[in-house]
Structure 1
Amino acid sequence: MAEMDTSENTTVSLPDPIQLCRQECASGNFLQAINSLRAALDGSPTGTGARLVSELVRVLIITGDRTSAESELNARTNSLPEVHQATSYDDAISLQRAILAVSARGELEEAIKLANQLWSKYAFDSTLVLDAEGGWDADNAPILIAYYAVEVFDLHRRYGQGISATSFSPTTELLQSIITRLLQSSLVFEALEIMEYFVDDPVPLFYSLATAFLTDGNPGAEDVILRCAKVQLENGELESGKLVLESLDKLHIRGATVLERREVLELRYLSTEPDRITATQRLLQLAETFENAKLFDAAMETLEYAAELHCKLGITEETVRLGFQSHDTLRLLISRSGDLLSGVQIELRLCDMISSTTGDLVEARTRRDQLLSLPICAKLPYFGKFHKRQSLEYLMVHLREPALHHAEKYREYCTILQDEGELSLANNLRLSALFQPGRTSEEARIACLESLREELEQGIEEDRTAKRHLAHVEKALLLAEVMEELARLEGEEREDAWPVIAELLDDAESICGLIRPAADAILPSLQVGYLKGIFEEPNFDRGSRMTSESEPAADDDPSHHLRHAFNGIKLVSRLCRAVQTLSAPVLVAAMNDLHAEEERVLSEGHPLEMIEFLTCQGTAYYVLLSFTDSKLLTTEDLPFTTPHEGLALILDCFERAIELEEEMASQLSDSPESLLTLKAVQSFRSGPLKSSLLELAVSICFDLDDNSLLWKWVQMTKAQAYSSLLRKRLDNPVSVSAVPSFEDMLWASSATSRQLVFVDWVSVNRDPEPRLLLVLALQFKRDEEGPLRKLTVAVVDMSVDEVEERISSLTPARLDGSDWQRALAGFAPLVEPLREVCGEEDILVLSPTGPLHKLPLHALTVDGSTLIERNTCIYTPSMSVLVSCLRRLENPTPGVERRQDWSAAVLAAYDDDSPSDSSAAERKDIYRSVTTIAAILGSSLVLGPELSASRFAQEAESSNLVHFHGHASRDPHDPLDQNLLLGATGERITLEAAASLVLREAPHLNLIACSSGVQDISADGLDEPLGLVTAFLMSGAASVTGALWPIQSATGRSFSQIFFEEYIRLNNGPPRDLGPVVNLADIVRQAAVRLMKDAKTSTPYHWAAFVLYGAWFSVRK
């Protein structure tokens, strides 16, 4: 906002009573101003009353004495004319009356209607009208009307949920004009209000105005200085605010209550009183001073500060007494001032204080019921949101009818807001209330449950279609309980009911991973796991399920009962209840339980129980740190004293849980080559709760601004189950850490003389914003002092949601179309950060995340060239997988000596049982191509019917290089159904068969087949891969080349021809890298570039299809 004109020579001449009034107000002498106006009114001639009444009411509103303001209006004004007939002062009085009615009775709609009419009548949208000289009377009533209209606009911003907004929205330029005219009219308070609450950065304006006022000797300078300091202190600029306050000492003028207002700010922000109890008591005294001076708004603000400070005190008899004293004072103040709108909010907060300090939830609920039944709460939809809290509290004690009443009220509120997502959640609250048991017959209960089941099933499908994930899971959890009770009441056997419930909970578990923000998924995930656990319990007593604490049946053998087991859902639920109810007693009890469980689990717990406890402990600390109001906590209640310490403690809990999980996962099976083992480990290590926690951990590292810690946790989120099994295939599994370290990556870098850059993409939740994408680029520079690590983290200018939306329309057909460049251009931000962090010709190791696995990242453009033209690129599910592949090349198979002679196998099978001419022609071309390749390599050649599954295994297990050209199949709905199709016998290499091979020589495999490089990536955010590439790397391959989509056979032949031309050229030429190796990544890059330059294969459909996974080099022939 530009600097305003505050020169004195533009001040409008005012009638004497009003001029004197405004001078007194500038000095803080409001009582004297009020008395002088009343005296003037009592002796005013006819025709001047409206002007003086408006001024009197204005001053009373400034002081916060709304009761007296309404009394004056009722006593001194008769019925006012319609807007089109009224004078400007009639209009000002009407708007003042409307604003007072909002505070007293919640009549916001009426105030908005009047403000809209007056805004239009005075054409305030035209700055020319405001800036024009003349046209308004000497007292400038229209500018006062403009200010009050802006006040109505602000009231709607704060309380107008569900009410139509004002037809106007003041622009910055218009607000500047209003401020200028207010100052010219000596309406300083109103000008400062707009500056403080409507200007983004008012401090420069305050400085400018204070300087002008001090130059003119205007006593209003003190008010300006105090407001300036307040804004700075609120923004955390403590030193600047302190200096501004100290500048008051240099002033010779001293307005009423200036020292007291300064002390309030110092007590609140600058901790001038080390004892918080004493500080709170002093604030109560200052509030009384303001109240005696009839400065009710100042008194109320001071009491708000006292209540805020009181919330930080521990719970003692003295602090409880002090809390009730401050709220009682507030209640009396509200009664005197007539501000019922603020009063109801204060009373609602009092209810929170009662529940948080005394634990008397009954008293808190009763008071809240009384408040929410007041007419002002019915008038303003704003108060509808408080019914949610009330319903939840009644649900906690299973009081069906009041819970249902408040749930219905909250649903009405959400209906008014027209928020379908929140409305669905509100309906869940209503259905939960209906599920509560009532005094009905068994037949009536069954009918109620049947009705609930029908409504829940319909609601689940609606939520699924609308992607309302949290509402979906909540309904599924409630439906599971409904179905369980129905089965019990109808006498259905448990084993008959369980499969349907299990399927429902499995679906809910998968949806939990989609809930955003991720923190909202924690409790539903725990609830799903808990319900699955108790329903699966062999001795599950359904009759006592509602209590979640079933006692043993009388005929049970006590020896069959295990010791007490850790119940994480119960503990976290209690924490969440403490947060929802602001109940410190509940919080303290939950924390005590947590500490007690920690001692027990450490002394006697099973590793799996310890994992659950650590996960729960980290979650509990996160709930406390992220969701708990400061009113609940003192530092003595927490195991950490600062947010930074809390975040570090959360990460420590999660890391210890993952380390234990790694130990247990490694013991799941003695046959790591089994694909079913991979599925078991992935299942053990995944799930929505694990996904949510890892997402939280990454987000925490991002908040801590610790790039090294962030890199470490990013590695923990990627393909850990798969990496674990790969490590078990190594001769020395401990040579690769469960989570790769910087030392591991330095070792990997030493395998090439070129610059290696390890690139990770990861998503970070920054709610309520869309999920961010980060690029992490790690590299090691070498100089005379040794290796220097460089880790760069950049935020991608594209959210995960945008990527998912764009990828949904990226098909192979579009990549083969004339607009392929436009199709890929939108993804350019994903690789843009690489332009700064890596040089041309560097080798890039690309580790995508989530939807990026479906994208040919090497085909995106950097500085006008595709990434594959600029850099050599390889892919890996995680850096741990890469390190395992490199270690494998050192000693391919545990316990098996490497062969001295190099060998290769060329295999092909293509529609050998098809009689069609086109198949025969293509088969002839393929067999001619692979025959040439076999001759170049001097390798074995197996074609068509001769290529059985056993022959494939025999050749692959004894070769350094395997080239397969043929068909691959995959079922997009079943990740386990992926195969390489062999000869006329109809045999195939399944994923299980591929994973069960023992590839002794750590070979490289070329899979020239449709979608052979596609990997099914888990949807839980853990980037767990499953596909042909996964299986062959698991069976011992060091690297695999595959296709990202269905390809034309001719494209595969062209790629193969170029690949082996380059392979022989590099193999026979002088070594270009460290050791006797061939750089496969360079070969794939050259093949892509050469295909790109051929007119017949110039689209990405052809040249971007083939990618290399794993090690970037292989042993030379």
Structure 2
Amino acid sequence: MTLEEKIHPHIALEVGWNYFSQGYIRIALDVVDHSLVRWRNSWCDKTALHALALARAFFKVLCWCQLKEALGEALSIQAVDSPLPENSALLDMDIAVEFFYYKILQQARRESLVDEESFDPPIRERLQTIARLLSEAKRPQEATSFILFLVDETDSTTEKVAVLRRYLHDPSLLPINEANVCLLMAEVFSDRGFWYVAESEQFLERAEEIFKKYGHIEGELRVRMERFNMVKTKTHDMVQGMLQLADDSKTLFCRAVQIMALSYTMSAAMGLHPKDAIIGVHKLLEKACRETGNGFVQLQGHICIASGMTTFDEHISKGTDAICEYLDSAPHEMPKTEGKLAMLLGEVFAVLGDDQKSIKYAKLAVETLKKVPDYKTLSEADLMLAEATMSRALKRGEFRDEYPIIIKNLEQSLDLDEKCIYPHGVVRKCSTLVELESTLAIGDETGHHKTRQDHWMALLERANNDVDDEMKVNLINQCITTKQFGRAEALAREALTTFSTAKDPRRVAKCQHMIFSSMFRPFDFSSHSDSQLRKVEDIVCQAKTAVAAYKELGLGGISIGVVIEISQALEEFGQYCPSWKSALYGEALECLKLGESACQNMRKNLASWSGLEALLQKRILVEYKYHQEIYDRAQRLAGEIDDDQQLWRWAQVSKGKALSDMVASRLVSPVQCPTGLLTDDEAGNILEEEQRLIRGLQSASAFERLSIRKKLGQVRARMEGHSALGHLLASRTGKIDLQDLGWIFESDIIKGLPGNGKAVLVDWVVMGNTIVMLTVDATLVPQMRVLDVSLEQVRRWKQTYLDVEWPFNGATELGNMSEIGGLVSGLEKVSSKDDFLVLCPSKLLHAVPLHALKVGGISLIDRNFIIYSTSLSLLRQCCERANSKTGETQRNLRTAFFAVYEEESQNEENRVERQEIYACATKLAAWFESDPILGADANKRNFRERAREADILHYHGHMDYKKNDVLERSLHNDNFTVRDAYSLRLDTSLASIIACKSGGQDIAAGDEPLGLLSALQYAGCATTIGTFWSVDSSDGRDLAVAFFQRLCRQRNKNESPLNLAVCFCQAVRRLKNREKDDLYLPYHWAAFVMHGAWYL
């Protein structure tokens, strides 16, 4: 076999898999890495390349702990709810993709990089579907892997056993697969305790019998290891037996089993063997991990041995040094591990009495754990920091001076306990607070600390009651999980009476929800009778009661999971009772509105984060926290009952909310406020008060936040009552209702259109594989049209014509665009020639040049004037920025024209083009009476400085487009990155970036864009121009000249406002109508795109 054949993607995956299963991770990584590097840009089988990329990412996790990078790779390839092939059509590469995708998510969940509450249900559903498809396709070998994954995802032991027993009865099950299932069944029974040892041994014997019969050595070794695991009381003999098992595994080249055996031996031997012997086991594990490239297991071993040694005086110094070393080398891609290491180190130094270092590492733990949604662990870190600070203060006699810091840490910890409903944590923190305040109450004549002591004592008593109440709730949940629905309902109704009497609204709502779950889950949808219909009525009534109870808790009182469960039930009942469908779907939509409010509240809770960090966290939140399920379900239900207005509304609230939130945060800036607002003294005072309270929230203690939030609510109520501030508040929150759209259709705003041109808003919504178009004109009546082109067709077209080095293959006529022409079909019925269209795409459509598609045989850009926007919320905010400057700068526009191109190249062609670019920039700058910034002067420092002062910013040059690292994409020269753009504070009306793929965006769930154009919009640009793909420099020059020439003409005519959309579209038309060579082809003109406000 030649080297080329060896690294063929299919062969590389098979070889890499074999090395991985044997435990040789580094070799497996090398194999798939060489193949991916060789074939990435030339192999047409995208699924095979995705499988290679995911395998490499997972092996990097095992080798080097690069988990964040792996998670990013996985989520860039597919979402948890991506559609699976129907009719058992999973191919080998599909299976490989799903296998490694799940393994990466599994590790990410353990590190709390993704949220279990939001990921577990879709993962479980996906695994069930894959296992079913593989079983139907008679592929038991592959099906077994996903059955075992599914068992890992199941919490209840009873459910695990049921899944495995059902699978054991599959007639297509192969013997080795049966043995693997029996081995897992033995493990499940062993975990149930002493009484199930016999059942566990029975399954082990069956597995051992099969493995021996077929000569499966690794299987026999795993049976031996499971027998050791079954022994709950560890002994010296057992540990020696495990060491022998590890040695046998190495001899038989089963390195994966060897490493598992050594890991287990080391943890089991703690407290049994002399410490030197344990260190010896650790050295064996470390050596095995180094030899095989198992860096992840090696790190876990380091943590285990280091933390174990700190409990023994003779080893504590060595253990401390080891933890410090591991913490310094802990990968930033695994923040939970790093945070726990810091906590461990803080505990060690507390034992040693070194309060200074204990505080240092407790602070590090808090800062690190803030990066993951593990509130309980973060709460414990906050408590550790408070206790370490208290210990230092007592020793120094500075107790009263340190008091505010200690209180702040404890109250932050309490906040987290309440957020994750952790009453045991509340008890610990309140006990500490009571002790603290009682100490300070001695000699306090004001009685302040005695009052606070009484407050915390009352909270402590309530928390102790909560612990008892929590046990009741947990018992009911356990009954529901084990399908004892009758008992669960009875217990929930009994608890409801108790909590109602105690006036505990949160637990009342929880009980109402559990009663609903107990009634709904056993409902038999296969039976139809009058009694069943009465049950439906009762369950729906209970659902409404549960929702009403959660509403009583106020904003954020209901979890998104509850919303989804109840809305799903109402949807299923609507299908069960067709005559009630509209009413039940309407109830479901009302329930989903609560979920939408919860989503908004979660995003608001990130308001104190810095700009880019907040945006990234909000993107993660939108992707992980059931957000898309809320919006997708609502859109589907609205579409089912043909409610065009509801569908339009849900389309608006679902798109680009994270970016819209961040842009909105800038609208508090004086330069971004609506025209004339700052001259209104009343408005200015209200705005100043709002900002003061927001700043106070970020530094306030839990004791103070409730009062501040109440005051903030009162201030915002005053803002809503003020005409200008109410408008600003709606813009900042991205509020879009049909009745608020009149401003878009005002004649002054769309001035500059030829003839009787009018505005039409065009939205696309994706429901599964179906694409729907929604349009709204001045009548404010949405119209819905289901398009005859599917999302899969668009995906195939994009892969064929755009995901290549030269879009449209460089010389392909527009004819191939007819394949997706259905995306604009029907626009001829709702719009006319010269109308102004606002295009709001969705999902894959963000990458498609919709303006190049034909309507009635005419390209949309020839027929209409076009502007793109991620959402109407963002459009409104961009227009607010444009409004703040309209009329102020048109006569004396401040401009910055940058140009840089192949400065170091001596190639004649590049030299000529460089001269052309610089001449073009010089001409453009002269039109606006400014000087261009060329060559070496067009650097990062000058770009940042000049951009801050410019009304119009223009750049012509290269862009370093990093496909897998959006934030590091940069403008040549001097590496001005997307990350840098987020740090800018601009007052710019227009930013024109003529560079390869400058308009390329990474689109996350919820149509959340991340790229240079969205970064500039966040920074303060009202309008941005970019390119979909790599363009010829000459095309960019021609576009810029045509655009700015038309802009100057409008300005010279004293037109107000200046219509950027007219200038841009006419400029693109000019490019399209060039006759020289093949310049009329879409490659040369369809790449250019304008986003944001269409006027200046």
- 1:691, distance to aligned residue in structure 2 (A): 2.0
2:729 counterpart of 1:734: yes
Partner of 2:692: none
Residue type of the alignment partner of 1:740: I
Partner of 1:838: 831
Residues 1001-1080 of structure 1 correspond to what in structure 2 (within 5 A)?
A: 1002-1018=988-1004, 1020=1005, 1022-1069=1006-1053, 1071=1055, 1075-1080=1056-1061
Residue type of the alignment partner of 2:1039: F
2:560 counterpart of 1:615: yes
- 1:1089, distance to aligned residue in structure 2 (A): 4.4
Q: 1:815–1:578: structure 2 CA closer, same or farther, 3 Å change rule?
A: same
2:766 counterpart of 1:763: yes
Q: Deviations over 1:182-219 (max 9, x none)?
A: xxxxxxxxxxxxxxxxxxxxxxxxxxxxxxxxxxxxxx
Residues 787-802 of structure 1 correspond to what in structure 2 (within 5 A)?
A: 788-802=779-793
Partner of 1:947: 938
Partner of 2:629: 692
Residue 839 of structure 2 aligns to a residue whose secondary structure is: strand
Q: 1:772–1:605: structure 2 CA closer, same or farther, 3 Å change rule?
A: closer
Q: How many positions carry a matched residue from both structures?
A: 640
Residues 493-508 of structure 1 correspond to what in structure 2 (within 5 A)?
A: none
- 1:823, distance to aligned residue in structure 2 (A): 2.8
Q: Is the 8 A contact 2:861 2:1065 kept in 1?
A: no
Choose from 910, 915, 939 the match for 1:924: 915
Residue 1113 of structure 1 aligns to a residue whose secondary structure is: coil
Residue type of the alignment partner of 1:1042: G
Query: In structure 1, what is the Cα distance between the partners aligned to 2:593 and 2:255?
Result: 42
Q: 1:533–1:591: structure 2 CA closer, same or farther, 3 Å change rule?
A: farther
Choose from 577, 594, 599 the match for 2:506: 599
Q: Is the 8 A contact 1:394 1:403 kept in 2?
A: no
- 1:1011, distance to aligned residue in structure 2 (A): 0.8
Residue 613 of structure 1 aligns to a residue whose secondary structure is: coil
- 1:1104, distance to aligned residue in structure 2 (A): 0.3
Q: Is the 8 A contact 2:558 2:595 kept in 1?
A: no
Choose from 742, 745, 770 the match for 1:772: 770
Percent identity reads 22
Choose from 410, 414, 431 the match for 1:559: 431
Residue 956 of structure 2 aligns to a residue whose secondary structure is: strand
Q: Is the 8 A contact 2:966 2:978 kept in 1?
A: no
- 1:1111, distance to aligned residue in structure 2 (A): 1.0
Q: Deviations over 1:245-279 (max 9, x none)?
A: xxxxxxxxxxxxxxxxxxxxxxxxxxxxxxxxxxx
CA RMSD, 1 decimal: 5.6
TM-score scaled by length of structure 1: 0.49
Q: 1:996–1:827: structure 2 CA closer, same or farther, 3 Å change rule?
A: same
Q: Deviations over 1:1015-1043 (max 9, x none)?
A: 1111x2x1111111111111111101101
- 1:872, distance to aligned residue in structure 2 (A): 1.2
Partner of 2:165: 406
2:589 counterpart of 1:648: yes
- 1:432, distance to aligned residue in structure 2 (A): 9.0
Partner of 2:979: 992
Residue type of the alignment partner of 2:775: A
Q: Deviations over 1:657-685 (max 9, x none)?
A: 134335434x324x6xx323322333344
Which 10-residue stretch deviates more, 854-863 or 497-506?
497-506
Q: Deviations over 1:102-130 (max 9, x none)?
A: xxxxxxxxxxxxxxxxxxxxxxxxxxxxx
2:612 counterpart of 1:710: no
Unaligned runs of 5+ in 2: 1-86, 89-139, 202-223, 232-245, 261-295, 309-322, 338-370, 384-419, 433-459, 511-548, 668-672, 674-724, 752-756
Residues 120-139 of structure 1 correspond to what in structure 2 (within 5 A)?
A: none
Q: In terms of Rg, which structure is larger?
A: 1
Query: In structure 2, what is the Cα distance between the partners aligned to 1:684 and 1:763?
Result: 20
Partner of 1:851: 844
Residue 1060 of structure 1 aligns to a residue whose secondary structure is: helix
2:655 counterpart of 1:668: no
- 1:1113, distance to aligned residue in structure 2 (A): 1.8
Residue type of the alignment partner of 1:1110: G
Residue 592 of structure 2 aligns to a residue whose secondary structure is: helix
Query: In structure 2, what is the Cα distance between the partners aligned to 1:630 and 1:873?
Result: 41
Residue type of the alignment partner of 1:881: L
Residue 663 of structure 2 aligns to a residue whose secondary structure is: helix
Query: In structure 1, what is the Cα distance between the partners aligned to 2:227 and 2:373?
Result: 22
- 1:892, distance to aligned residue in structure 2 (A): 4.7
- 1:573, distance to aligned residue in structure 2 (A): 13
Which 10-residue stretch deviates more, 960-969 or 609-618?
609-618
Which 10-residue stretch deviates more, 950-959 or 583-592?
583-592
2:858 counterpart of 1:874: no
Residue type of the alignment partner of 2:569: L
Partner of 1:353: none
Residue 971 of structure 1 aligns to a residue whose secondary structure is: coil
- 1:777, distance to aligned residue in structure 2 (A): 0.8
Choose from 226, 229, 234 the match for 1:444: 226
Residue type of the alignment partner of 1:734: L
TM-score scaled by length of structure 2: 0.50
**Structure with greater proportional helix content:** 2
Residue type of the alignment partner of 2:226: A
Q: Is the 8 A contact 2:550 2:558 kept in 1?
A: no
Q: Deviations over 1:680-736 (max 9, x none)?
A: 333344425222222222222223432212211111111111101212222264141
- 1:492, distance to aligned residue in structure 2 (A): 8.2
Q: Is the 8 A contact 2:564 2:629 kept in 1?
A: no
Q: 1:744–1:642: structure 2 CA closer, same or farther, 3 Å change rule?
A: closer
Query: In structure 2, what is the Cα distance between the partners aligned to 1:573 and 1:1008?
Result: 63
Q: 1:1084–1:579: structure 2 CA closer, same or farther, 3 Å change rule?
A: farther
Partner of 1:746: 742
2:607 counterpart of 1:625: no
Residue type of the alignment partner of 1:625: L
- 1:874, distance to aligned residue in structure 2 (A): 1.0
- 1:428, distance to aligned residue in structure 2 (A): 13
Partner of 1:129: none
Residue 1107 of structure 1 aligns to a residue whose secondary structure is: strand
Residue 1059 of structure 1 aligns to a residue whose secondary structure is: helix
Query: In structure 1, what is the Cα distance between the partners aligned to 2:467 and 2:739?
Result: 40
Query: In structure 2, what is the Cα distance between the partners aligned to 1:426 and 1:776?
Result: 51
- 1:761, distance to aligned residue in structure 2 (A): 0.9
- 1:641, distance to aligned residue in structure 2 (A): 12
Query: In structure 1, what is the Cα distance between the partners aligned to 2:468 and 2:1075?
Result: 65
Q: Deviations over 1:327-360 (max 9, x none)?
A: xxxxxxxxxxxxxxxxxxxxxxxxxxxxxxxxxx
Query: In structure 2, what is the Cα distance between the partners aligned to 1:502 and 1:951?
Result: 34
Residue type of the alignment partner of 1:774: V
Choose from 956, 974, 996 the match for 2:947: 956
Partner of 1:312: none
Unaligned runs of 5+ in 1: 1-160, 163-380, 459-481, 507-528, 542-547, 766-770, 781-787
Q: Is the 8 A contact 1:411 1:427 kept in 2?
A: no
Query: In structure 1, what is the Cα distance between the partners aligned to 2:843 and 2:1071?
Result: 30
Q: Is the 8 A contact 2:901 2:914 kept in 1?
A: yes
Q: 1:686–1:1038: structure 2 CA closer, same or farther, 3 Å change rule?
A: same
Query: In structure 2, what is the Cα distance between the partners aligned to 1:862 and 1:566?
Result: 67
Q: 1:576–1:844: structure 2 CA closer, same or farther, 3 Å change rule?
A: farther
Choose from 932, 954, 967 the match for 1:976: 967
Q: Is the 8 A contact 1:1016 1:1026 kept in 2?
A: yes
Q: Deviations over 1:430-475 (max 9, x none)?
A: 79957854556995367699999979x99xxxxxxxxxxxxxxxxx
Residue type of the alignment partner of 1:839: S
Query: In structure 1, what is the Cα distance between the partners aligned to 2:305 and 2:602?
Result: 40
Residue type of the alignment partner of 2:837: L
Q: 1:539–1:920: structure 2 CA closer, same or farther, 3 Å change rule?
A: closer
Query: In structure 2, what is the Cα distance between the partners aligned to 1:607 and 1:1007?
Result: 50
Q: Is the 8 A contact 1:400 1:436 kept in 2?
A: no
Residue 827 of structure 1 aligns to a residue whose secondary structure is: helix
Residues 1080-1091 of structure 1 correspond to what in structure 2 (within 5 A)?
A: 1080-1091=1061-1072
Query: In structure 2, what is the Cα distance between the partners aligned to 1:428 and 1:492?
Result: 32
